[in-house]
Copies of this chain bind each other. A is one copy, B any other.
Amino acid sequence: MSPAADLGRVLCIITGASRGFGRAVARDLARLVQPGSALVLVARSGPDLRALQAELTESEAGRAGLKVEVVVADVGKVEGLEDILRTSKEAFYEDMDHILLINNAASLGDVSKYVRDFSDMSEVDSYLSLNVSSAMCLTARMLQAFPQHPGLRRSVVNVTSLCALQPFRSWALYCTGKAAREMMFKVLAEEEPDLRVLSYSPGPLDTDMQVEARSKTADQTIKKKFSGMFAQGQLLTCEASSAKLMKVLLDDKFTSGDHVDVYDN
């Protein structure tokens, strides 16, 4: 069977949508959904988010009727989750046939420290709340708000990392959070056979997070590795990685719960 040409009439919810990978995904999704679809773009930064909203509203898809809503909110706060759900429910129409949640928002954590430096519980708690609890609770609320019914496809993407599978020195919070998320979404995939759950690892991207990684990583070997990848042009663009995610979603052949890497065939 050839891959679908589009993702249907979709309600797409994208967290961390104002820049980097999330923004590239929003732009790609705008092109790959049918008229009558809606994007709910979520980020903490209002100006960047509204600029993207304007861009997509004025695009060919926007002129053809794509609705683009923004939620300026912190996904790590209960009120943020409530805002996202309220806007998503308002943006949903009964004739939509696909709900797609992209759990992309994440933080790197303090990579200038080693595990031995993390004596402050509140720092670790905050990190896990933003990077693990929020993804779990947003996903749960989305599933509750849009229950399974015949003709409705529901997909959840967890933006993951090689760090979910491999330990990296001085990246304890990031590795721990990504490993936690990936297991959580594996459990979800086991629990909800109708749901399509994808942990997508976008690869080393040329983003602000990479700048942070190159400048702050405590471990010199890891730091040099990132600097070397940057210098040698080995970082991927967000656009290239998002294109691969779109292909995986259109093909729809992944096993629910699996980790799919940008470099996978």
Per the bound structure, the CA–CA distance linking A116 and B178 in Å amounts to 19
Nearest CB in chain B: distance from A94 CB, A: 21
Interface residues as binary, A160-181 with B (CB distance below 8 Å gives 1, 0 otherwise): 0000100111111001111111
Given contacts A121-B134, A124-B132, A137-B120, is CB(A184)–CB(B144) below 8 Å? Answer: no
In the complex, how many residues of chain A place their beta carbon closer than 8 angstroms to a beta carbon of chain B?
Answer: 51
Interface centre among A143, A170, A183 (most CB of B within 10 A): A183
Given contacts A172-B188, A177-B180, is CB(A140)–CB(B117) below 8 Å? Answer: yes
Partner of A190, one of B143, B168, B178: B168
Chain A positions within 8 Å of B, measured between CB atoms, are: 78, 81, 114-122, 124-125, 128-129, 132-134, 136-137, 139-141, 143-144, 164, 167-172, 175-184, 186-192, 219, 257
Q: Can you offer 29 A-B residue contacts whose CB atoms are under 8 A? A: A78-B121, A115-B136, A115-B139, A115-B187, A116-B143, A118-B140, A119-B137, A119-B140, A119-B144, A120-B137, A124-B136, A125-B125, A128-B129, A132-B176, A136-B172, A167-B186, A167-B257, A169-B187, A169-B190, A169-B191, A172-B184, A172-B187, A175-B183, A175-B186, A175-B187, A176-B180, A176-B187, A179-B180, A179-B182
